[in-house]
Structure 1
Amino acid sequence: MISIQGEAQGTTYHIKYFDKKQRNLKIAIDSILLDFDKCLSLYRSDSELSDFNKSTFHRYKSPYFFPVLKKSKEVFEATNGAFDPTILPLVNAYGFGPTKNKNPENADINSLLKLIGFEKILFDSYAVRKSKPEIQLDFNGIAQGYSVDIISDFLVGLDINRFMVEIGGEILCKGYKVDNKPWVTGIENPLKPGSLFCSVQLSDRAMTTAGNYRNHFEKDGQVFNHIINPKTGSMEQSSLLSVTVFAQDAITADGFDTAFFVMGLEETKHFVSKNPNLDICLLYTDDHGNLKTYLTDGIKNLIKEL
């Protein structure tokens, strides 16, 4: 097994794979992730996404922009707008985006809501435009999962079919390790960050997690967290602590984990019951502050609490 690691998208990546030719692919993978960043990064002023956010029309230069728009529309429509990439004006207003707002308590949410709504974005396979110049896209809720798929497709194209790709906690595994044993990963304990709640056996599937227990801050007694409801403009205060989604590809899982956080416990359970291609692990607190788990049937035999 070959193991490589590095940094990309402001986080780290770890990739393990079995290759009969024993190729070290780190240089090629770093190059792909750099090109991906040049397209979809919010934190590069020269990225395609930044260019579009400063204009009203953009013709794609890379192969990455259109697929992420297409999947974003799919998840936006399926979740009735719970996932919405036009949320960037709100993200910036609350102090979580590249444009830091030092006074989030003074944000004019009502006026910013007029800029929110993925239906205001029009695109085809060649270009994308928006109805108002102030509208801005934020793919942070889906792009990292997509980058996992990109690297996975790259490995498959080289006839490598046994691997684990992990970027910033978003994971896709294909095939098995030695002796037909599945890859093993884990889900973090949201009440004890840095330690695992459970282990997960994963093969031929993607797994992504969204949580509100890390990315938050407090100012003047008010807690601001990065899970924002695009329909109300408010930060979600929920019993949900983390949402892990299992799907055939990481871009799908990543888009839905963000949406499910906004939708909440009961609505998410109902949604997944009608979408058997998705499985979920929800970690939440009950009325007494105890950590509780909800698992769909498709993954119950793959998860072992620690």
Structure 2
Amino acid sequence: MKMATETPLISLEGEAQGTTYHIKYRDERQRNVKAEVESVLTDIDKCLSLYQPDSEISQFNRGETHRFRSAHFYPVLKKAAEVFRASEGAFDPTVLPLVEAYGFGAKKVGSPENANVDSLLQLVGFQYVTFDAVLIRKAKSNVRIDLNGIAQGYTVDVLVELLESKGINQYMVEVGGEIRAKGQKGEGQFWTVGVANPLRPEQLQAKMPLTNRAMTTAGNYRNRYVSNGQVFGHIINPKTGLMEQSDLLSVTVFAADAMTADAYDTAFMVMGLEKTKRFLETHPELDAYLLYTDSEGKLQVFATNGVKTL
């Protein structure tokens, strides 16, 4: 049997979900799974893409109920509901009308100055959506959902399942910056991931080893909006309907799977620094690396005990 280090590393990359993907793995049989990867990505887009008018999520948003056609919709909704409850509504997929009103999202038709927040807030609340393993329905006709805050993490997990179904157990899968890794890159070599400095995004703030875990990052520093000298991020608080003016610039979450990490990085951006710290104290299954500015505008770091930097 060959040693892992004798097996060449296979690298796949391409475009998906409005971003890019990169997959690296070691396989003694040297199988190239790109065609199957692309098939998975296409199937998920047909279900969860807001950019495709005939996707399942787009059809549901236009109607009242939807009977699931693929296996992808239900597990993402289930995780979304779990994190919605745990975060007390900080993560809320029904924020789509506000996202569009502010000029973000697929349509880019609104603007922060003209967003009619008060009327749109009546449509925000994941409690207006009910579902089981077969069907999803809405309690108010104009409620619409956006699962972009969780879909890329889910995609990573599905690609991991594909690799593991083939007996591949040394890999790093990344879609749009959401990452999950298992095993080692090579003998004595960890898979490593980087977190950008939000004040200088071209520079790395930290490098970390990653194995048998997922890591995702949400940042409030690339999409920013300035009004009367105040800087607002693109993260919208689903409770107030307002764009957050937050000292929290970047949230990196570590969890057993990428979908969980992806949902919580969004929730933590909404919750802010102190509330996130308190939440993490009671959720040892999660680790986080938070970058924020202090009262003097200097970059500061908060990391839970499970975060190791290189």
TM range (shorter): over 0.9
Q: Is the 8 A contact 1:94 1:224 kept in 2?
A: no
Partner residue, 1:100: 108
The two structures have a TM-score, normalised by structure 2, of 0.95
Q: Structure 2 vs 1, CA of residues 228 and 101 (structure 1 numbering), >3 Å: closer, same or farther?
A: same
1:64 equivalent in alignment to 2:72:
yes
Q: CA deviation at 1:102?
A: 4.0
Q: Structure 2 vs 1, CA of residues 186 and 103 (structure 1 numbering), >3 Å: closer, same or farther?
A: closer
Q: Give the AA of the match of 1:293.
A: V
**Which runs of no fewer than 5 residues in structure 1 stay unpaired?**
none
Q: Sequence identity, in percent?
A: 58
- Worse-matched range after superposition: 171-180 or 213-222: 213-222
Partner residue, 2:255: 247
Q: Is the 8 A contact 1:189 1:195 kept in 2?
A: yes
Q: CA deviation at 1:100?
A: 2.1
Partner residue, 1:152: 160
CA-based RMSD: 1.2
- Worse-matched range after superposition: 176-185 or 230-239: 176-185
Q: Is the 8 A contact 2:232 2:245 kept in 1?
A: no
The two structures have a TM-score, normalised by structure 1, of 0.96
Q: Structure 2 vs 1, CA of residues 96 and 16 (structure 1 numbering), >3 Å: closer, same or farther?
A: same
Distance in 1 (alpha carbons) for counterparts of 2:114 and 2:103: 11
Q: Give the AA of the match of 2:149.
A: G
Aligned positions of 1:1-306 closer than 5 A: 1-218=9-226, 223=231, 225-299=233-307, 302-304=308-310
Distance in 1 (alpha carbons) for counterparts of 2:271 and 2:86: 12
- Worse-matched range after superposition: 185-194 or 162-171: 185-194
Q: CA deviation at 1:215?
A: 1.9
Q: Structure 2 vs 1, CA of residues 64 and 31 (structure 1 numbering), >3 Å: closer, same or farther?
A: same
Distance in 1 (alpha carbons) for counterparts of 2:268 and 2:245: 13
Distance in 1 (alpha carbons) for counterparts of 2:176 and 2:74: 22
Partner-residue secondary structure (3-state), 2:194 = strand
Q: Give the AA of the match of 2:210.
A: L
Q: CA deviation at 1:223?
A: 4.9
Q: Is the 8 A contact 2:41 2:155 kept in 1?
A: yes
Q: Give the AA of the match of 1:112.
A: L
Q: CA deviation at 1:219?
A: 6.5
Q: Give the AA of the match of 1:294.
A: F
